[in-house]
Amino acid sequence: DAGVIQSPRHEVTEMGQEVTLRCKPISGHDYLFWYRQTMMRGLELLIYFNNNVPIDDSGMPEDRFSAKMPNASFSTLKIQPSEPRDSAVYFCASSVAGAYNEQFFGPGTRLTVL
C-alpha cells in the first residue's frame, strides 16, 4: 500500500502566483481531508470530501482557496492568488467511513510564499 501521496513536497512561490497542491488518497478510502498546519494555529481542517463530493468547506479561509476532487483517486487544492500568510504545511488525509475512522495522512506539502 503506497499510502496517501502528495505533490509537490516543497513549493516556493512569489506572492500573487497560483499554487496547486495535489493528493492521491489510499485506494478504497471514501473520505478525503485537506488540512493546513502552522505553528500559531496548529492543524486546521480546510475542507473534506465524501465520495468525491465536498461536504464541509467552512474551514477554507477565503475565496482565494478552492478544492476539487474530480475522481476517487485525485484531489487538488488551489490558491490563487497566493499571499505570504498562506505559508504553511498542507496535509491531505484519507479514511474509510465508520465510527472508528482513523485518518491516514500524506507527507505534506511545505508551501513558502515570498
Partner 1 sequence: GQNIDQPTEMTATEGAIVQINCTYQTSGFNGLFWYQQHAGEAPTFLSYNVLDGLEEKGRFSSFLSRSKGYSYLLLKELQMKDSASYLCAVKQNQAGTALIFGKGTTLSVSS
For partner 1, the binding residues (CB under 8 A) are 30-31, 33, 35, 41-45, 48, 50, 55-56, 91, 95-108
User: Shortest gap between Cβ of 105 and partner 1 (angstroms)?
Assistant: 4
Contacts of residue 70, defined as CB under 8 A and 6 or more positions apart, other chains included, come to 52
Residue closer to partner 1, measured from CB, 81 or 96: 96
User: Shortest gap between Cβ of 100 and partner 1 (angstroms)?
Assistant: 6
Residues forming a β-bridge with 112: 12
Take residue 107 and report the three cell numbers written for it. 507527507
Residue closer to partner 1, measured from CB, 81 or 103: 103
CB contact at 8 A, 81 and 18 = yes
Helix (H, G, I), strand (E, B) or coil at 85: helix
Residue closer to partner 1, measured from CB, 81 or 107: 107
Residue closer to partner 1, measured from CB, 17 or 51: 51
User: Shortest gap between Cβ of 37 and partner 1 (angstroms)?
Assistant: 9
* Rounded Cα gap, residues 21 and 68, in angstroms: 11
User: Shortest gap between Cβ of 11 and partner 1 (angstroms)?
Assistant: 15
Helix (H, G, I), strand (E, B) or coil at 104: strand
